[in-house]
Amino acid sequence: MSSAHKNLSIFSTDNLPDISEKRFALVVAEWNEQVTEALAQGAAKTLLEYGAKPENIVRANVPGSYELTFAAQKMAQKNDIDAVICIGCVIQGETKHNDYINHAVAQGLTNVSLKYDKPVIFGVLTPNTEQQALDRAGGIHGNKGDEAAITAVKMLAF
């Protein structure tokens, strides 16, 4: 079901684990900062709403979404990080560059998650237009940052 038919920030929060002592890395790409900052704020707010402590959310910025994988690995290898949430926005341009970034990051974050046996959440928007991005960063389709945070919390139940 496409985002056009549902608010991405409406999800079940039943049976969530206690995250009061869990530590989260929040890795944020600076490209399309208006969007990624809205996503990051949504993710942080949601973690706090569901019981995370402010001191247990470790924020790190990277230049672009392609760099999320390297930073995610640096965070995932830390013994005091329980989950990594990666935030980015890769807007389609005139060339295929966005495709290469998106595929590299999706596969890269999956590899990091499996290598370090920790949830590494793909909170990267891959819109065709800036408006599509804004719609998913606190607009008509909710906030994908909220969704990424809840996903991290749910995965800590495994």
Ligand X SMILES: CC(=O)[C@@H](O)COP(=O)(O)O
Active site residues: 97
Query: In this chain, which of 97, 130, 131, 157 binds ligand X, going by CB under 6 A?
Result: 97
Contact of residue 126 among ligand X, ligand LW54GNZ2, none (CB under 5-8 Å per partner type): none
Number of residues that bind ligand LW54GNZ2 (CB under 6 A): 13
State the amino acid at position 69 in one-letter form.
T
DSSP letter for each residue of 2-46: -GGGS-TT----TTPPP-TT--EEEEEE-TTHHHHHHHHHHHHHH
Does 91 participate in binding ligand LW54GNZ2 (rule CB under 6 A)? yes
CA of 41: how far to CAs of 6, 108, 150, in Å? 21, 24, 13
Per CB under 6 A, contacts with ligand LW54GNZ2 among 98-127 are 101
At 76, list the tokens.
């995932």
Using the contact rule CB under 6 A, the part of the chain among 16-24, 43-51, 60-68, 111-119 near ligand LW54GNZ2 is 60-68
Using the contact rule CB under 6 A, the part of the chain among 6-14, 50-58, 82-90, 142-150 near ligand LW54GNZ2 is 82-90
DSSP letter for each residue of 90-127: ----SSSHHHHHHHHHHHHHHHHHHHHTS-EEEEEE--
Helix (H, G, I), strand (E, B) or coil at 65: helix
Report d(CA 67, CA 72) in Å as an integer: 9
Residue 126 marked as a ligand binder: no
Residues 6+ apart with CB under 8 A from 96: none
Using the contact rule CB under 6 A, the part of the chain among 1-9, 43-51, 95-103, 110-118 near ligand X is 95-103
Binding site for ligand LW54GNZ2 (CB under 6 A): 29, 31-32, 63-67, 88-91, 101
Binding-site positions for 5-amino-6-(D-ribitylamino)uracil read 31, 65-67, 89-91, 122
Binding site for ligand X (CB under 6 A): 90, 93-95, 97-98, 101
